[in-house]
Every structure is written in C-alpha cells, then in structure tokens.
Amino acid sequence: MTIKENIDKIRFLSTDGRQRESYIRLGGHGIIDGLEGRGTKHDFYKIIGVYDDSILLKQFRGKKTLKLSSYYWDQEYHLIFKKEYDKLEKLW
C-alpha cells in the first residue's frame, strides 16, 4: 500500500494523543527497495506533522526536518510506533 492510498490513516495515527510518536520507513522509487531487510533506527523517520500537501519528517540523530511532498506519496511504506522503534538497533 502506498502513502497516497493511506494518508488519512497516517494522519490519524500520527496526531492521535495516545500514539503521538510514530515512525515511517519509506520504500523509495529507485533500484533498491527501502523496505528490504530488518531495518534499524537509521531507516525510520519520525513523523513531525502531516499536512494536505506534505509530511514533515526527522531522521534518527538528524538536525534538520525533511519535507516529503505529495509528489513522492506513491511509494510503499512501513509505519511503527515508539514502543517498536525503541527495540530497533543502532548502527553507531
């Protein structure tokens, strides 16, 4: 399923008071599938905000926020919450 197909679900889960901290892993558009492998904290982005035309993200140990515009919403994704994110390993 793509982000575009489930944007309402992503918006609800990332703004609901009980599940405030949600993280997304993107599949990508290129040759390499971003959802392959077991994933680490470095593969997930924290969802800061969901808007009509973009999603604001922050990478693990990142200093800046990233804007994923609606043009890129046609890719697969994997959504997890804080409890699952805390169990992931770090690369460094």
CA angle 21, 9, 22 (to 5 degrees): 15
| Cα separation values, 57 from 24, 31, 64, Å | 9, 23, 9
| 12, 20 contact by CB (below 8 A) | no
Report yes or no on 59 lying in a domain: yes
Confidence at residue 71, expressed as pLDDT on a 0 to 100 scale: 93
Domain that holds residue 77: 4-86
pLDDT exceeds 80 at position 88 = yes
Task: Quote the pTM value.
Answer: 0.85
Pick from 87, 89, 77, 91: nearest CA to 24: 77
pLDDT band at 29 (very low <50, low <70, confident <90, very high): confident
Please state the rounded mean pLDDT for residues 51-77: 92
In a domain, residue 52? The reply is yes
**Domains in the chain, number:** 1
Query: Has residue 91 been placed in a domain?
Result: no
Rounded Cα distance between 92 and 75, Å, is 28
Look at 36-45, 46-55, 56-65, 80-89 and tell me which has the smallest mean pLDDT. Answer: 36-45
- Asked whether residue 92 is assigned to any structural domain, the reply reads no
Q: Is 61 helix (H, G, I), strand (E, B) or coil?
A: coil
Residue 14 lies in a domain: yes
